[in-house]
Chains A and B, each alone.
Chain A
Amino acid sequence: MFGEFIKSLRIKKDIGLREFCRRLSIDASNWSKVERGVLAPPQDKDKLNQIAEVLNIEKSSALHNELIDKASIDAGIIPKDILSDQETLNSLPMFFRTVRSEKPTPEELEKLIKKIRGDG
């Protein structure tokens, strides 16, 4: 997910692997594995910001958030901003159950409706 995402952005910007790795001072052998999903993406915020910078992605833009989120998800980590929001965190089990096509309880449904309305 993260690897393919970065590679497609890099190709779109017409930046070769060598140039990309040189600009970021990262090992091209490892980075090629990250892009192919063989190695997990970096989690270091500064490194992710540098990657965004090389790809000309504005900080706090939707694309920047997507980059950070995909790096977390690929490493099996829930993004930090989600973890810091207790209410959203509490809703995650319900979300997972829904994804697994398990029926939410009436209480969970009520919570979800409130959340969607913005008054929960």
Chain B
Amino acid sequence: MPETSDFECPYIPKEQIWQKAEDFRADFWPEDTLPVDMEKIVERRMNLNIEPEHNLLSELDIDAYLKVDLTGIIVDHDCYMNEKFINRLRFSLAHEIGHFFLHKDIYSSFSIVDSSAWKEFMKNIPDREYGFFEYQANEFAGRALVPRKRLILEMESCLQKVQEIGLIELVTKDPAAILSSISPTLCKPFGVSDQVIERRVEREGLWPPKY
């Protein structure tokens, strides 16, 4: 078994990650409705176990992790059961599925038996590799949950409202302020947080909008 310090996460261009996310959505969420039901996909379409574990978040500061044998995703029990955290859970599951599709080979080379071992493993990964590893899974999750075409449509609708209240000039003068003001509305149909949606519009090169 390789040492954690030998852990290598190769660079994957964002276009390639996005394509994998698009393929994933087409294969496992063909209904193409929003929000994407990750719980359904994980359990009932990919046939992976969801394994709630008590105190995962409070004691180990982990929301969720993919088991190295790729049979399931461990999730924090309280987050999982609490409706209030449904969007957070959706993103966490999509993030772990990102690891599933992008880092399968890396996972299979390490043997991690429980949550503490997982935490230790992540702690010892070199910073650069950890950065790539998490960024890639986040990028996958973002694209999987926020389809670009729908994002553009929702953005247009939000901008229309900005125009109606006479603030359209601010879009060019202070784009960050306008994005913050529309993101709580923009994120709703996708079932993600406003931080996720702000990141998506920036990563997709949609903000500030070009007229």
Contacts and interface: CB of A to CB of B under 8 A. Distances in A.
Contacts of A16: 39-40, 43-44, 50
Given A18-B80, A18-B81, A22-B81, A28 B43 contact: no
Nearest to A38: B51
B81 A14 contact: no
Contacts of B51: 29, 32-33, 36
Contact of B52 (A11, A14, A29): A29
Interface residues of B, number: 13
Interface string A65-83: 0000000000000000000
Given A16-B40, A18-B81, A29 B49 contact: no
Interface string B41-78: 00110000111111000000000000000000000010
A2 to B, nearest CB: 16
Contact of B80 (A14, A28, A35): A28
Interface of B: 39-40, 43-44, 49-54, 77, 80-81
20 contacts: A11-B43, A14-B40, A16-B39, A16-B43, A16-B44, A16-B50, A17-B43, A17-B50, A22-B81, A27-B77, A28-B52, A28-B77, A28-B80, A28-B81, A29-B51, A29-B53, A29-B77, A32-B49, A33-B51, A36-B51
